[in-house]
Amino acid sequence: MTQITREIDQVVLIGDSLAVSPTDVDRGGVRLRVSGRHVGGPRDGETFSATHELAKGGSVRLGPMVTVVVVAVFEDAVRLGVVAPANMAVRRGETGR
Protein backbone atom coordinates (compact mmCIF):
# COMPACT_ATOMS: atom_id res chain seq x y z
CA MET A 1 0.00 0.00 0.00
CA THR A 2 1.29 3.43 -0.96
CA GLN A 3 0.41 6.22 1.50
CA ILE A 4 0.13 9.90 0.60
CA THR A 5 -1.02 12.83 2.75
CA ARG A 6 -3.16 15.39 0.91
CA GLU A 7 -4.85 18.64 1.87
CA ILE A 8 -8.15 19.82 0.41
CA ASP A 9 -8.14 19.83 -3.43
CA GLN A 10 -4.66 18.28 -3.69
CA VAL A 11 -4.69 15.36 -6.10
CA VAL A 12 -3.41 11.79 -5.95
CA LEU A 13 -2.87 10.34 -9.44
CA ILE A 14 -3.22 6.57 -9.80
CA GLY A 15 -1.82 5.19 -13.01
CA ASP A 16 -2.65 7.21 -16.10
CA SER A 17 -6.39 7.24 -15.63
CA LEU A 18 -7.51 7.96 -12.03
CA ALA A 19 -7.47 11.14 -9.92
CA VAL A 20 -8.52 11.27 -6.25
CA SER A 21 -8.72 14.43 -4.13
CA PRO A 22 -10.23 15.35 -0.76
CA THR A 23 -12.81 18.14 -1.06
CA ASP A 24 -13.73 18.36 2.63
CA VAL A 25 -11.93 17.14 5.75
CA ASP A 26 -13.15 17.13 9.34
CA ARG A 27 -12.56 14.95 12.39
CA GLY A 28 -15.38 12.65 11.32
CA GLY A 29 -13.85 11.82 7.95
CA VAL A 30 -13.30 13.03 4.44
CA ARG A 31 -15.20 13.62 1.23
CA LEU A 32 -13.24 12.28 -1.75
CA ARG A 33 -13.80 13.25 -5.37
CA VAL A 34 -12.74 10.50 -7.77
CA SER A 35 -12.63 10.76 -11.56
CA GLY A 36 -11.04 9.08 -14.52
CA ARG A 37 -11.42 5.81 -16.38
CA HIS A 38 -12.20 2.40 -14.93
CA VAL A 39 -9.25 0.00 -15.06
CA GLY A 40 -10.14 -3.66 -15.56
CA GLY A 41 -13.44 -5.43 -15.24
CA PRO A 42 -16.57 -5.10 -17.36
CA ARG A 43 -16.43 -1.27 -17.33
CA ASP A 44 -12.76 -1.08 -18.42
CA GLY A 45 -12.02 2.26 -20.09
CA GLU A 46 -15.38 3.81 -19.19
CA THR A 47 -15.08 7.34 -17.76
CA PHE A 48 -16.68 8.23 -14.44
CA SER A 49 -16.81 10.83 -11.69
CA ALA A 50 -18.00 10.14 -8.13
CA THR A 51 -17.93 11.51 -4.61
CA HIS A 52 -17.50 9.31 -1.52
CA GLU A 53 -17.86 10.16 2.19
CA LEU A 54 -15.43 8.04 4.24
CA ALA A 55 -14.46 7.85 7.90
CA LYS A 56 -11.01 6.82 9.12
CA GLY A 57 -10.52 3.18 8.14
CA GLY A 58 -13.12 3.43 5.38
CA SER A 59 -12.31 2.41 1.84
CA VAL A 60 -13.64 2.65 -1.67
CA ARG A 61 -12.95 0.26 -4.56
CA LEU A 62 -12.26 1.92 -7.87
CA GLY A 63 -12.87 -1.05 -10.10
CA PRO A 64 -11.41 -4.51 -9.52
CA MET A 65 -7.78 -3.38 -9.32
CA VAL A 66 -7.64 -0.25 -7.11
CA THR A 67 -8.73 0.46 -3.53
CA VAL A 68 -8.33 3.76 -1.65
CA VAL A 69 -8.29 3.63 2.17
CA VAL A 70 -8.53 6.53 4.65
CA VAL A 71 -5.54 5.83 6.90
CA ALA A 72 -5.64 8.98 9.05
CA VAL A 73 -7.63 12.20 9.28
CA PHE A 74 -5.90 15.39 10.46
CA GLU A 75 -7.28 18.87 11.09
CA ASP A 76 -6.93 19.97 7.46
CA ALA A 77 -5.50 16.93 5.66
CA VAL A 78 -5.99 13.22 5.15
CA ARG A 79 -3.57 10.32 4.69
CA LEU A 80 -4.75 8.01 1.95
CA GLY A 81 -3.53 4.50 1.32
CA VAL A 82 -3.73 3.25 -2.25
CA VAL A 83 -3.67 -0.44 -3.10
CA ALA A 84 -2.98 -0.84 -6.82
CA PRO A 85 -1.00 -3.14 -9.11
CA ALA A 86 2.75 -2.51 -9.17
CA ASN A 87 2.58 -1.27 -12.76
CA MET A 88 0.25 1.61 -11.75
CA ALA A 89 2.23 4.56 -10.37
CA VAL A 90 0.71 6.34 -7.36
CA ARG A 91 1.93 9.93 -7.13
CA ARG A 92 1.12 13.45 -6.05
CA GLY A 93 -0.74 15.41 -8.72
CA GLU A 94 1.57 18.40 -8.70
CA THR A 95 4.82 16.45 -9.20
CA GLY A 96 4.07 15.35 -12.76
CA ARG A 97 5.59 12.04 -13.81
Q: What is the pLDDT of residues 60-97, one digit of tens each?
A: 998 888 999 999 999 889 999 999 999 999 999 875 44
Element (H, E) at 20: strand 18-26
* Rounded-to-integer distance, Cα 46 and Cα 66, Å: 15
Instruction: Output b/e per residue, 75-93; b: 16+ Cβ within 10 A.
Output: eebbbbbbebeeebebbee
User: What global pTM score does this model have?
Assistant: 0.89
